[in-house]
Amino acid sequence: MRVLFIGDVVGSPGRQGLREAMPALREEHAPDLVIVNGENSAGGVGITERTANDLFQSGADVITTGNHVYRHREAYDFLETSERVVRPANYPQANPGRGHTVVEAGGMRVRVVNLSGGVGLRVARSPFDTVDSILSHHEQDAVIVDFHAEVSSEKVAMGWHLDGRVAAVLGTHTHVPTADGRVLPGGTAHVSDVGMTGPRTSVLGVKPEQALRSMITQMPTRFETAEEDVWVMGAVVDVNERGLADSYQRVMLPVR
């Protein structure tokens, strides 16, 4: 089974870029399962039912999220009812949405788990304890983890923690692709961050002049999504019949 994982889609430029790139990505990689992080898909921050449906129409099978998932209250009911959109599993259990889901792909039952890092982000429970509980209480053929975390050390630690138990631990949130992607000794594909799908002429998706103004003046600044030099970033993982990874490949595709 082949998984195509797409990093944080930022605003309408990211959504449009993914839509334009998906035919070429499908032709080159022939994925059985497409997972897209959509937590910045609505105006650069958060997700809505409309932007989620846009990602589904572009080819996403499952949408993961992160710390901005609750930015738009209009999305709460949608998160609660959708079986293919997940939010971090280590958020309070009463929060809208689910932390993991199972889909059929490539003849396998694949569990997609969303976790938030506990360093620098607000969570209700340890991501390590949370994922251990999920793995011990559910059965599946393979597991893909989107670890939406702030610091590289925690992301690397999660890769080693789950090595040999899941097919992939793919980092999101920091929007900058890291060069440490590989298959760990136990058979788990891991990368600290797959990068973002959006404009590279930006500061993590924000217009450079606005991000600079905020950092230099320390004053409140309205952020807008940049539009130039859109790239699709992500990863491709081949999963074997044991539910572990045979290979990891980085995706970095310029769109326009």
For residue 205, what pLDDT band results from cuts at 50, 70 and 90?
confident
Residue 57 reports pLDDT greater than 80: yes
pLDDT (mean) for 59-80: 97
Q: Which domain holds residue 181?
A: 2-254
Chain segment 142-159, per-residue pLDDT in tens? 999 999 999 999 999 999
pLDDT (mean) for 231-240: 98
Give the pLDDT score at 187: 98
Catalytic residues: 68
Pairing mode, strands 230-239 and 198-199:
antiparallel
Residue 256 reports pLDDT greater than 80: no
Residue 119 reports pLDDT greater than 90: yes
What is this structure's pTM?
Answer: 0.96
Chain segment 12-25, per-residue pLDDT in tens? 999 999 999 999 99
Q: Is the CB of residue 140 less than 8 Å from the CB of residue 110?
A: yes
Chain segment 90-116, per-residue pLDDT in tens? 999 999 999 999 999 999 999 999 999
Q: How far apart are CA 104 and CA 117, in angstroms?
A: 27
Give the pLDDT score at 108: 98
Q: How deeply is 229 buried, as exposed, middle or buried, from its count of CB atoms within 10 A (0-12, 13-18, 19+)?
A: middle
Considering its fold, how many domains does the chain have in total? 1
Give the domain CATH number at 250.
3.60.21.10
In percent, how much of the chain has pLDDT > 90?
Answer: 97
Give the pLDDT score at 96: 97
